[in-house]
Every structure is written in structure tokens, then in C-alpha cells.
């Protein structure tokens, strides 16, 4: 249990996950009013003393993204102006991360913009889970503790005792993540050759690797519309895969995403609770695992100035 000078405040983005983290740490959630004015402006007040405290502010930039991002920024500002000794922004899902480079003319780099906003608001460090790209850590001028949900997901699939398992990277950018899964699960590795003609649309061109007769597991960090997963499952089964499951850390599942997953040929999609799934998004094929112990242990170690990276050794 962290010291009495540890304070944890939560926005409205991930209330259940925040409660689980506080339960894990045996620390009561901080008393804060997070509401709105009549014109829908966000209104926040910390209702307890944080002077000289080690403050952790939990909020995902989950849908509604802009509102939850503003909640986080205003929470940080409130804690800074209340003389908190150190402010850690705990961001289970870091949104606006998919535009992380100037890959065409006249486009923004929103991942860097949001990093600047969080730093300018007064955060002293960041705690995030499975950033869309590892280099996003360099966008911050403050320390970043980057957690991986892999231990949670690998533990689940390891207990399934899947025979003839091949872990599949959904694209070349996901090879490092998929290789780490494959190593821990003692599985083979395959790669999908994917093209994106437009945002939220993908074409599976080739399957690199032998999946014939294999149980295949697609490993990704984000699932948005679900269309790519459905096409990936079809491509793998067409190459002789015996079955296809998938996992991801962040279940954005926008629009018809949940229906796409349910109607696909996937056996199941295993996700984490970095983004809460309301009743409209819950489906039989979607299983949710909690990263609360992972985040709780990281918060404990940050407070105690212990190693966070040793969680993944």
C-alpha cells in the first residue's frame, strides 16, 4: 500500500477500472467533483487537500475522446494549482496516437500535440498502456512509464493450452509485439501483408508464413471498426488455418465494430478494459480482461521509486 501522501483521482472515462486500481492498492479514490456547467463546459474541483502529495490522475482518452481528454487536462491543472508535489497522468488508452508522423502534406501530428497539452497542463510524468507506437514516448519532455498488456493476455491464452499455435502480426508494424507473444507462448509467427487505401479500411494482400492446419491468434494494440479483423480471419482461413482468434489491448470498437466482430469468423476477441465496453458493445465473442493489477502495481512502484520495467522481465 502506498503512503498516506498518495492521492488517486479519477475522471469519468474508466470508472470501473479506476475503482479496481484503488481496490488493488487499498487506497480510497480521491474526492473530486467532475461535472459540467449548464453549457457543457467541464467543471472540476478536488475536494480534499493535495498539498505536497504524490497525485495520480486516471483517465483514458476513450470515447467521447475530446471530453475525456479535457477532463484529464483540467484535473492536472487543478492538482498543479493545489500544490501537489508530483502529478502522474495515468492514461490507460492514449488517444490521438494514430497520427504520429507527417506522412502526407498538410496533416497534423496530433500525438505530439496532445503530449504538449498534457505537459503544459502540469503533468510531471505519464503512465500509459500499449502506446500505438513506442516512439510516442519521445514526444513527451517528461518521464513516461510505458506498460505492456502482454503479460495479462499471454497468461489468458497460455491457460487455453492451444495446440499448433501461430501468432499473427496484423501488419509489419506489429511484428515486434507479435514476436514477443509468440516467444512467450512457444508459438510460430506469421505476418499479414496489409494495405490501407483509406482510414479505417484495409485490404489483406498476402499471408507471410505457414498457417495451414494451425490455430492462429492475431495480436494487435487497437481494434476500431472490426472490419480489418474480419478480413484477416477470412484470409487466414483461406490459407488453411484451423481457427482464428484475436487479442487487442484497446477495444475502441466504434460504429458497427461490435457487430463486425460478432458476425466474423473469429472464435473470440480478447480485449483489456483500458476502454470500457457499455452494454451496446458487449458481445458473446468479446472477452474483457482487467489491467487493474498491472496499473496498480506500476503506481505502487512509481510512488516507492522502484523499478517499473522489472514488471516485464
pLDDT digit string, tens, across residues 81-91? 999 999 999 99
Which residues, in sequence order, are CB contacts of 133 under 8 Å at separation 6+?
Answer: 97, 100, 111, 173
Does the pTM surpass 0.85? The reply is yes
Cis previous bond, 62, omega within 30 = no
pLDDT for position 96? 94
pLDDT of the residue at 281: 92
Give the span between the Cα atoms of 187 and 117, in whole angstroms.
Answer: 41
Q: Rounded to an integer, what distance in angstroms lies between the CA atom of residue 245 and that of residue 50?
A: 46
Q: Catalytic annotation on 194?
A: yes
The pLDDT value recorded for residue 172 is 85
Quote the distance between the C-alpha of residue 201 and its chain's center: 21
Q: Which residues of the chain have pLDDT under 50?
A: none
pLDDT at residue number 197: 55
pLDDT number for residue 2: 62
Q: Do the bridges between strand 201-208 and strand 188-198 make them parallel or antiparallel, or are there none, so unpaired?
A: antiparallel
The pLDDT assigned to 44 comes to 97
Q: Extract the runs of DSSP E, i.e. beta strands, from 38-187.
A: 42-46, 54-58, 86-91, 125-129, 144-147, 165-169
pLDDT at 133: 86
Set 112, 194, 285, 287: catalytic member: 194
Q: How far apart are CA 219 and CA 168, in angstroms?
A: 6
Amino acid at each position: 500500500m502506498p503512503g498516506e501522501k498518495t492521492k488517486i483521482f479519477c475522471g469519468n472515462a474508466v470508472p470501473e477500472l479506476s475503482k479496481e486500481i484503488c481496490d488493488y492498492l487499498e487506497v480510497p479514490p480521491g474526492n473530486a467533483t467532475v461535472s459540467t456547467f449548464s453549457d457543457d463546459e467541464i467543471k472540476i474541483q478536488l475536494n480534499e487537500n493535495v498539498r505536497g502529495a504524490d497525485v495520480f490522475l486516471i483517465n483514458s482518452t476513450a470515447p467521447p475522446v475530446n471530453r475525456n481528454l479535457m477532463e484529464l487536462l483540467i484535473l492536472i491543472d487543478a492538482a498543479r494549482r493545489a500544490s501537489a508535489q508530483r502529478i502522474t497522468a495515468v492514461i490507460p488508452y492514449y488517444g490521438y496516437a494514430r497520427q504520429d508522423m507527417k506522412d502526407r502534406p498538410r496533416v497534423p501530428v496530433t500525438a505530439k500535440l496532445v503530449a504538449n497539452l498534457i505537459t503544459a497542463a502540469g503533468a510531471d510524468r505519464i503512465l500509459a498502456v500499449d502506446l500505438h507506437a513506442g516512439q510516442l514516448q519521445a514526444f513527451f519532455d517528461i518521464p513516461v512509464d510505458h506498460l505492456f498488456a502482454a503479460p495479462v493476455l499471454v497468461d489468458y491464452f497460455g491457460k487455453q493450452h492451444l495446440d499448433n499455435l501461430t501468432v499473427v502480426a496484423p501488419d509489419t508494424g506489429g511484428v515486434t509485439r507479435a514476436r514477443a507473444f509468440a516467444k512467450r507462448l512457444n508459438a510460430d509467427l506469421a505476418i499479414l501483408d496489409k494495405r490501407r487505401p483509406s482510414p479505417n479500411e484495409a485490404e489483406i494482400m498476402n499471408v507471410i508464413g505457414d498457417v495451414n492446419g494451425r490455430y492462429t491468434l492475431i495480436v494487435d494494440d487497437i481494434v476500431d471498426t472490426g472490419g480489418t479483423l474480419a478480413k484477416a480471419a477470412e484470409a487466414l482461413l483461406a490459407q488453411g488455418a484451423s481457427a482464428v482468434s484475436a487479442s487487442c489491448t484497446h477495444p475502441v470498437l466504434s460504429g458497427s465494430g461490435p457487430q463486425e466482430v460478432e458476425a466474423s469468423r473469429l472464435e473470440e476477441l480478447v480485449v483489456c478494459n483500458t476502454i470500457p465496453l457499455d452494454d451496446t458493445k458487449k458481445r458473446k465473442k468479446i472477452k474483457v480482461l482487467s489491467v487493474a493489477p498491472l496499473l496498480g502495481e506500476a503506481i505502487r512502484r512509481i510512488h516507492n521509486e522502484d523499478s517499473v520495467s522489472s514488471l516485464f522481465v
